Amino acid sequence: MRDPGSPSTTFSAYTSAYDRFIEVLLKTLTERLEDAEDWTGFINGLLEGYLGTLTQDFVVARAFQVEMDAVGAEARARRRAALVRFARFIRSQHERLRERDPTLELLPDQAYHRRGLPGAPGRQRRARRAR
């Protein structure tokens, strides 16, 4: 049995709490934005929902948005995975809104995530060139 105060137990609890935070945040944003009528309304709602969630608990916001990088490589990998989930969410909403408004331009994956989205064809070519 692990000591409840051991580093591995503390890390596990921290990352579990982070995973839960991301789940709740994405669920909140999805519910809030599923009826957005246009891109401007979506972006306004996204920012209000995201920042509103963070302001509900500044300690949690700091722990998961500022201090996550200091926790270690595995925590940084979880944060990157969460950012990809956010990018996919935003892309899916953009695609939904493009169906309603064909004047919205098709955006490259880098518009949603600075490195593009994993699994995208351009991303695979860039990864091979980097080797």
Provide the pLDDT for residue 98: 93
Residue 131 DSSP symbol: -
Q: Is a pLDDT exceeding 80 seen at residue 118?
A: no
The pLDDT mean for the chain works out to 82
Provide the pLDDT for residue 123: 44
DSSP characters for 19-66?
Answer: HHHHHHHHHHHHHHHTT--SHHHHHHHHHHHHHHHHHH-HHHHHHHHT
In which region does residue 61 sit, left (phi positive, over 0), alpha (psi from -120 to 50) or beta (all else)?
alpha
Joined tokens for residue 67? 């201090």
Q: Is a pLDDT exceeding 90 seen at residue 33?
A: yes
Q: Is a pLDDT exceeding 50 seen at residue 124?
A: no
Provide the pLDDT for residue 130: 45
Q: Would you say how long the chain is, in residues?
A: 131
Joined tokens for residue 25? 């945040």
Q: Tell me the average pLDDT across 102-121.
A: 78
Q: How is the chain split into domains, by residue range? A: 7-130
29: Cβ–Cβ under 8 A, 6 or more apart, which residues? 46, 49, 50, 89
2: Cβ–Cβ under 8 A, 6 or more apart, which residues? 8, 9
- Count of beta carbons in the 10 Å neighbourhood of residue 128: 8
Q: How many helices (H) and strands (E) does the chain have?
A: 6, 0
pLDDT tens digits along 2-16:
444 556 778 888 888
Higher pLDDT, 115 or 124: 115
pLDDT tens digits along 64-106:
888 888 888 888 889 889 989 999 999 999 999 999 998 999 8
Q: How many CA atoms lie within 13 A of 30 on its CB side?
A: 12
